Amino acid sequence: MDVELTPVRLFEIVLEEALRDGSVEEGEFEKVEQVKELLGITAEQHRDTFKKVKERIDAATESDRGMDRILIYQKCLIVAAADGKITEDETQKLNTMKDWLKITAEEHKASMIKVKKWLQEKRSS
């Protein structure tokens, strides 16, 4: 599997989490705008990504949760590690997301363990 952790993919992960409950609340909107600017997402990329994510969310079961920063980070880790390696560019992007999401060293370590276990289980099944 060749999956690259691109700025658009990172934005998609954040937007998916923000839209999980069906709409983007004011505080979530600000965070989405911050990450959009941080990653250099264009208006066209935002529109296309929003449409894609909204369709996927609308088709899924509703959830009453707001944005979960650790889940966002873990999804980023999964995408980066899916091909079995994390490139230097992906590491820089993950560090950017880690800083933006305010992920602590302990949260990072726990996330890495969880993602590694999940990927091992997925590969063995």
Q: Kindly list the distances between the CA atom of residue 70 and the CA atoms of 19, 33, 98, in Å, as whole numbers in the listed order.
A: 16, 19, 9
Comparing 121 with 8, which gets the higher pLDDT? 8
Q: Is residue 2 part of a domain?
A: no
98 domain residue, yes or no: yes
Is 43 a domain residue?
yes
Query: Can you tell me whether residue 33 is helix, strand or coil?
Result: helix
Q: Is the pLDDT of residue 7 over 80?
A: yes
Give the mean pLDDT of the chain: 84
Residue 78 domain-assigned? yes
Q: Which residue would you say has higher pLDDT here, 66 or 120?
A: 120
pLDDT at 31 over 80: yes
Domain count, the chain: 1
Residue 103's domain spans which residues?
7-124
Q: Is residue 1 part of a domain?
A: no
pLDDT value of residue 1: 38
Structural domain includes residue 45: yes
The pLDDT tens digits for 89-111 are 999 999 999 998 889 999 999 99
Distance of CA 29 to the CA centre of its chain: 15
- The whole-number average pLDDT for the span 51-76 is 75
